[in-house]
């Protein structure tokens, strides 16, 4: 939504967009497994979070396994933890060549599309951002994360072919999310943060750029999230053309803001675990306030968690976050 993005740039009020759905899952008394498998439950969780807190926008569940599962990877679905990929789906040039780009009826993709469609249709007072994994992180889940790190040097052609397949799928998936009526997608590309700026550019940003080119417009924003970036690959993130960049708690937020153009929305970066989960309302309030004060000069800043807020963060902590934002805005 360029209009929503543009309104952030001109507004004096600080927008708060923590990435969270777990409090919603807990509020409706469902398990993580139910929420990540059933589109209706997933939607109800998003709705519950939206109603309970003063969210400026909603996000769907950050589940980094849906896409890999669609490709055929085996998934482990614990009741109350986020799902995980087990094993390795492709291991060499031949298996990569044989890998098919899956259609959108595979695995839990239909359930995710349903959740996004229901949320977009029924939560009409604020934007909804879908979630997906980034191309390099997806390729790493299929090829093995450590192996792909060396694969980019010793088998670059095969890895590029794998990245192209991942990118094709992500374009299809994002277009379907867009058709479901959401305002954009938070694309999680954590593994790319372990690469140098140059490699992040070649093996992540070039592919993200293709996805941005195919899906982003005034009504659909790509929010590129990279929580592995410690400040060394911000330049590569900027070149993707994503209208919004989202940073993890490993980065100095002010440095990130200085490294990004003023017309790109920059989001981040309170520690989801150290602050939201392990802190108390008092410390959450203080750290939120400190971050808001440090970033006061930047119109393009949106305050957020550095990553998905994990299960069982206390509601009082999340409320403390919102109340710090509210008090800060009243003083602007």
Partner 1 sequence: MNQELLQKLSECVEFGKINLASPYPPNMKGQPGADEYAKEALDAGAQPSEILDELVTAMGKVGQKFTENKIFVPQMLLSAKAMSAAMMHLKPFFASGAVQRKGTFIIGTVFGDLHDIGKNLVAMMVEGAGWEVIDLGIDVKIEKFVEAVQQHPEAVVGVSALLTTTMVNIKPVIEAVKAASPDTKIIVGGAPLSAEFAVSIGADAYGKTPQDDIVWLDTLIA
Binding residues vs ligand B12 (CB under 6 A): 62, 64, 82, 84, 137, 141, 145, 190-191, 193-194, 227-228, 248-250, 272-273, 306-308
Minimum distance from CB of 271 to ligand B12 (Å)? Answer: 7
Output the smallest distance, CB 164 to partner 1, in A: 20
Q: Work out how close the CB of 244 gets to ligand B12 at its nearest, in angstroms, rounded to a whole number.
A: 18
* Of 31, 57, 56, the residue nearest 44 (C-alpha): 31
Tokens of residue 137, six digits = 């992180």
Comparing CB distances to partner 1, the nearer of 39 and 228 is 228
Q: Which does 267 bind (CB under 5 to 8 A by kind): ligand B12, partner 1, none?
A: none
Q: At what angle do helices 39-52 and 109-122 cross, to 10 degrees?
A: 40
Least separation in angstroms between CB 248 and ligand B12? 4
CB 40 within 8 A of CB 259: no
Whichever of 117 and 277 has its CB closer to partner 1, that residue is 277
Q: 307 touches which of ligand B12, partner 1, none (CB within 5 to 8 A by kind)?
A: ligand B12
d(CA 22, CA 31): 9
Q: Between the CA of residue 132 and those of 61, 188, 325, what are the distances in Å?
A: 9, 6, 27
Q: Which is nearer to ligand B12, 107 or 306 (CB)?
A: 306
Select 16 or 227, whichever has its Cβ closest to ligand B12: 227
Distance in Å, CB of 27 to partner 1, minimum: 20
Measured in Å, how far apart are the chain's first and last C-alpha atoms?
25
Burial of 239 (0-12, 13-18, 19+ CB in 10 A): middle
Which of partner 1, ligand B12, none lies near 115, with the C-beta cut-off 5 to 8 A by kind? none
Count other Cβ atoms within 10 Å, centred on residue 99.
18
CB of 283 to ligand B12, least distance (A): 16
Contact positions toward partner 1, by CB under 8 A? 81, 84-86, 145-146, 149-150, 152-154, 156, 194-196, 199, 232, 273, 277-278, 310
Q: Identify whether the C-beta of residue 118 lies closer than 8 Å to the C-beta of residue 39.
A: yes
- Residue 109: asked if its preceding bond is cis (omega within 30°), the reply is no
Residue 186 touches which of ligand B12, partner 1, none (Cβ within 5-8 Å per kind)? none
Place of tokens 């450590």: 146
Q: Of these partners, partner 1, ligand B12, none, which one is at the site of residue 149 (CB under 5 to 8 Å by kind)?
A: partner 1
For 246, phi and psi rounded to 5 degrees? -120, 125
């Amino acid at each position: 939504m360029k209009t929503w993005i543009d309104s952030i740039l001109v507004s004096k009020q600080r927008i708060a967009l923590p990435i969270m759905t777990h409090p919603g899952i807990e509020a409706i008394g469902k398990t993580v497994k139910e929420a990540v498998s059933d589109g209706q439950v997933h939607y109800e969780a998003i709705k519950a979070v939206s109603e309970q807190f003063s969210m400026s926008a909603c996000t769907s569940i950050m589940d980094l396994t849906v896409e890999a599962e669609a490709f055929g990877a085996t998934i482990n679905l614990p009741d109350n933890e986020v799902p995980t990929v087990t094993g390795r789906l492709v291991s060499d040039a031949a298996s990569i060549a044989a890998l098919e780009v899956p259609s959108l009826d595979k695995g839990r993709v239909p359930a995710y599309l349903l959740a996004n469609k229901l949320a977009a249709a029924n939560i009409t007072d604020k934007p909804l951002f879908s979630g997906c994994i980034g191309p390099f992180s997806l390729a790493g889940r299929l090829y093995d994360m450590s192996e792909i790190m060396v694969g980019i040097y010793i088998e670059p052609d095969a890895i590029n072919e794998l990245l192209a397949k991942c990118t094709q799928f992500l374009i299809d998936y994002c277009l379907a999310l867009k058709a479901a009526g959401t305002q954009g997608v938070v694309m999680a590309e954590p593994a790319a943060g372990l690469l140098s700026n140059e490699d992040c550019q070649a093996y992540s940003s070039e592919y993200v750029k293709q996805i941005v080119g195919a899906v982003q417009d005034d009504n659909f924003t790509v929010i590129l999230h990279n929580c592995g970036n410690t400040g060394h690959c911000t330049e590569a993130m900027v070149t993707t053309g994503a209208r919004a960049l989202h940073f993890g708690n490993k980065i100095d937020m002010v440095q990130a803001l200085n490294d990004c153009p003023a017309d790109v929305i920059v989001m981040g970066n309170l520690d989801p675990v150290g602050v939201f989960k392990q802190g108390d309302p008092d410390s959450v309030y203080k750290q939120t306030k400190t971050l808001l004060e440090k970033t006061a000069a930047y119109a393009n800043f949106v305050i957020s968690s550095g990553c998905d807020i994990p299960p069982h963060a206390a509601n009082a902590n999340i409320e403390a976050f919102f109340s710090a934002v509210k008090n800060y805005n009243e003083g602007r």
